[in-house]
Structure 1
Amino acid sequence: MAKRQIPVELAKLLDAVDPDRLMRTVEGICTGERLTNEAEARALNFMAQEFERAGCRVGWETHPAYISTPGRARLEVGGRAFECVTHPMTPATKGVSGPLRFLSRSEASGLGPDALRGAVALVEGLATEAAVRRLQEAGAAAAVFITGRSIHEMIVSRVWGSPTPATMNDYVSIPAVSVSLGDGAELRRLAAEGAAAGIETEVDTRWVDLPILTADIPGESDDFVMVTSHIDSWWLGAMDNASGNACGVEIARLLAPFAGKLRRGLRIVNWSGHSHGRYAGSTAYCDAHFEELRRYCVLNINADCLGGCGATVMTEAPSLAATHGLAERALREAAGVENYEGHRYSRSCDMSFWGVGVPAVFSQVSEQPPATGASADAFKALFGGGTKSGGYGWWWHTKDDTVEHLDPEFLARDVRVFLDAVWHAVTDEVLPLDAAAEARDLERGLRVWAEKAAGALDLSAALERSARLVRALEALDATVERGACTAHSRNCTVTDVLRILIPLGYIEGSIFSHDPAAGAPYVPMLRGVDELQGADPHFRQCLLTALRRRVNELTWELGEALALVED
């Protein structure tokens, strides 16, 4: 098959991406650890000046948000102090002590209610909310996590964004700290000898006015594409996420001369509250602009952790089924990647717009190769293994995330991929979104649930409508190719259908709220099917009642989507 020719204008833009300028932008942003403080304000002001210099329309807004900043932490075991960090959204404590007890991964995942009563648990891996909660429910007084070569910062919260009355008590109640892999080995030895551990932590959790910076390049229509990134960082955060911020600045510089000439506008949005507010910034932006986003935003392209040294794996970037083709094209045209596989989005990456129904593509586009040897052991201890890449680099979320761990040429390469995707999204007559692929993906998910339900739940009507929807969307695209349907009509129908399909595929609750920051299956509104087997008769019938109502909702929404296409 012949390779598709890259448009001449796009080729010129890709050639104009400047690695040296990108690195200067990164250095201008890395003014210190950026956690809703003076360093963050300096970085945002620097970016605003760059956007204004490029010719963008710059906007500022603030929204109340709940953030948590870790302070001093102390861990003492056997009379010896160990370097450690504590984590946002965990409680501050003036002193907790107990016998130090090491648990393997399998032991930590199968604990009973009183298995750790009064102990300080020592476990391998990142400090996640799910891990801390398991230890808390087992009666642990505190938790110590053995992370990597350097100590990894994490936020311990399942509340997506700022809390509501329904979620304000959904935070863990025991302190947690993390240590390095090297100190972890010594702590394991001390635990085996029966040593006691003492922990003190300082955590400042409060409501603040969270800043959001926007830069707009208008198009010919009211529709727009978003390029989004978080400005806050652990330590200097050169890769995470000055690299993503620099990507937005570079794209603004290159596309601002096209203001008023693009089919769709471009809005670059930079928020705080990602690292220390569990996506509080993106959630606040969604809540404040819900109707505008639902009516006019056709795509969200998130930029995070770009250009790392050694980041040669470029086949795993996340996408929706609807945006897989766009991702594949951008990676091929801008970076020569021919074997893009991609993966489904997890509940991460500031993906706060599922309820709105805004399609998304990317976050990172490059990762480290799979680890080998001693590095593989360390990687598995940290993440559990089982991935097709080596993650973002050992310096991710550590004090070592500095400019020296960025590769200027790799950063420029990654930015070219983003620029390519943006260019097609704002200039292509036929919007590069594949609603038929999203419908096929949803149908596959429904078939999985139907098989699991084993006849206990009737999904036949939903399956029939999803199959009809796939055929109708495929026929719609065929009519555009034959000239029997305008591109504008097709684009409006596709975006309206995706406003329905994306929430069905990715959220469990209301489209106006935000599900917890936890793992979610495809079509999460049917996750109760997993609880049917082995349930007692009363609970099973209660569960089936709830599931039938969710199936009704699902079937109705699919009918609405089908009507949009068939009409």
Structure 2
Amino acid sequence: MLDQTLLMQTLQDIANTGERLSNPSEENAFIVIAEAFKNVGAEVNIERVPLFVSTVDNVRMTADGQRIKALGNAMTLPLDGNNPRQGTVSVQGRLRILSASDWQSYEKKGNSDEIVLLNGLANLNDLRKAQALGLKAVLFDTGDRIHRMIVSDVWGSPTPGCESRYVTMPNASIKHSDALTLKDGMRITLELAINSRWTTSPVLMAHVRHNEQNSEAFTAIVTGHIDSWGDGALDNASGIAAMVASAKEILTLKNRKHDVCYVIWSGHSHGRYAGSTAWHDKHFNWLNEKVFLNLNCDCLGAVGSTILGKTPVMASTAALARKAHEGISFTEAFTRFNRSCDQSFMSMGIPSVFSNISEVPPSGSVSMKVAGLSGVYGPYWHTTDDTMQGIDPQALMRDTEIFTNGLIQSVIEGPDALDLMAEWNEFSTTIREKLNVVKEKQSTDSISEAFVNEPIWQELLDKLSEMNIVIQKRAVEANSQVKVQTLKHIVAMAYSASALGLQDRAGQKARSLLVEAFEKWTKAKEESFEYFSAWTAMVRGANQLFAQLKSIERL
């Protein structure tokens, strides 16, 4: 039975450290968490990794001379040339208030000095559009509370060549009641105190070893971030408290056959997953050889979190998630993982399950409608009000029990808790469907026919059929090591991320090239440059995918 007193006390102790953004409060929080893990009997180790983080430490905003409270978003103007930006950025302009439909069709005319006010959370697409239009700045009305976001798609700390991906558009967020006081044409002054820097940040690892003789023991990593906006009770002291409580429970298991490594890092919100990426890079070989599963733990037990079942899973981990929910009623379908929640391990194909467990229903209030939160984590997420008021103790116990159930199943069954065939079937079906569409839509144009008749299309379909037999046999007969490596190959292909802006090897995977090229081809005008360019990319993607399938066969 989970220790609710331990769960709530750990949560309170972490929240009490305050806002954690690569600062003394965060260093103190690591000490608090290390002590909590030691007290339940886990082996604790802390190391340091390099991170690039960027925050806006202060915003001064006036409208016709009147002060308006505003907060800045992470990764706003993070670079000054090729150096981290330190100092104040100031802009002035005339306010233009735009609805969503007006903004969609908006085109700046002349040499105006406009600062636009938009509804919703700060986001990269709006900032890139404003940057292309040459606007002065963007303000975001985020509802009843100011929600801070990260406005970058550079995954992890930057590497040479990605500098142009960062936005150079000044921006800040305000709340709806203040937005209502603003009028078109007001003179806006915006001063942003930018604090970008490289730092060395702690990463905490707490180990719970298997207690049976098992020379083939694998490791499940349980991951979560420590950094926070405000006290971060929900995001993510709740997840870390659940990790500590689950560790105490796992240590009581007498039949655990596999290891657990709890990993906690910074740089999630103000470094775009810089902590998980740096730790991934540092421990690449061990992760590749020994880790069979990643259970991410984030934003548990929110007040009003009555929606259950939408937790993210992969095809290979869906059955594990269902077992974890035994005895829990839910009607929502599991969601498929996307590239968020510190999923820095997809490039090497580590299967993943969980992140959030429950969600808050959509609300009709201004804060939800304007901020676009649609429920999910509730009204306190990413705000200075993310305190204990946003936590429901019973909901947190429920979510922690579900999470712990899945972890228990993992350390007992190891790789057998994962469904190799389910992952393969989802991946191969997706590829077949796309290739069949390609062949069905072939043009009578001779050049297009030449592309469609490339041998690689049929070779790839034949290889998928061959591999289906190989993987079916392997799922039944192969040892755990071969099963795990086979599954990792499939996950790496199935969850390849776009190369654009993401600084990891997942961006180079074949399925991404194939699928993105397919999507571009379907939108391109026939016989246009984009049409044939996409054809070329699809053939290249198919060839690379074919080569990767052959590499699975050689295992």
Q: TM-score, normalised by structure 2?
A: 0.88
| 1:495/1:113 CA distance change after superposition, 3 Å | farther
Which of 262, 275, 278 is the equivalent residue of 1:281? Answer: 275
Alpha-carbon offset, residue 74 of structure 1: 1.6
Q: What do the CA deviations read for 1:245-289 (whole angstroms, capped 9, x no partner)?
A: 101111112223458x52211000000110111101000011111
Alpha-carbon offset, residue 471 of structure 1: 4.8
Which of 320, 326, 329 is the equivalent residue of 1:332? Answer: 326
Which of 407, 416, 419 is the equivalent residue of 2:401? Answer: 416
In structure 1, the residue matched to 2:24 is: 38
Contact 1:160 1:517 in 2 (8 A): no
| 1:409/1:126 CA distance change after superposition, 3 Å | same
| 1:119/1:448 CA distance change after superposition, 3 Å | farther
SS in structure 2 at match of 1:173: coil
Distance 1:402 1:300 in 2: 27
In structure 2, the residue matched to 1:79 is: 65
What aligned pairs does 1:182-331 form with structure 2 within 5 A after superposition? 182-187=177-182, 190-191=183-184, 194-219=185-210, 220=214, 221-258=216-253, 262-331=256-325
Q: What do the CA deviations read for 1:308-331 (whole angstroms, capped 9, x no partner)?
A: 111010111101111111111111
SS in structure 2 at match of 1:492: helix
Contact 1:111 1:138 in 2 (8 A): no
Distance 1:463 1:110 in 2: 43
In structure 1, the residue matched to 2:463 is: 465
Alpha-carbon offset, residue 293 of structure 1: 0.5
Q: What do the CA deviations read for 1:4-63 (whole angstroms, capped 9, x no partner)?
A: xxxxxxxxxxxx212222110011111110111111111111111121222211111111
1:165 aligns with 2:132: no
In structure 1, the residue matched to 2:172 is: 177
| 1:430/1:351 CA distance change after superposition, 3 Å | closer
In structure 2, the residue matched to 1:501 is: 490
SS in structure 2 at match of 1:355: helix
Which of 354, 362, 366 is the equivalent residue of 1:370? Answer: 362
Distance 2:96 2:147 in 1: 21
Distance 2:177 2:359 in 1: 24
Alpha-carbon offset, residue 543 of structure 1: 3.7
| 1:525/1:236 CA distance change after superposition, 3 Å | farther
| 1:382/1:475 CA distance change after superposition, 3 Å | same
SS in structure 2 at match of 1:100: strand
What aligned pairs does 1:363-512 form with structure 2 within 5 A after superposition? 363-371=355-363, 374-375=364-365, 378-383=367-372, 390-428=375-413, 431-450=416-435, 453=438, 454-455=441-442, 458=452, 459-477=457-475, 479=476, 485=477, 489-508=478-497
In structure 2, the residue matched to 1:57 is: 43
Q: TM-score, normalised by structure 1?
A: 0.86
Amino acid paired to 2:25? A
Q: What do the CA deviations read for 1:407-434 (whole angstroms, capped 9, x no partner)?
A: 1111111111111111111102662111
Contact 2:367 2:379 in 1 (8 A): no
Contact 2:124 2:152 in 1 (8 A): yes
* Alignment: residue pair count: 523
Amino acid paired to 2:389? E
Contact 2:513 2:541 in 1 (8 A): no
> Which range moves more in the overlay, 344-353 or 232-241?
344-353
In structure 2, the residue matched to 1:8 is: none
Unaligned runs of 5+ in 2: 78-86, 443-447
In structure 1, the residue matched to 2:82 is: none
| 1:290/1:111 CA distance change after superposition, 3 Å | farther
Distance 2:297 2:479 in 1: 28
SS in structure 1 at match of 2:163: coil
Contact 2:311 2:355 in 1 (8 A): yes
Percent of pairs with identical residues: 33
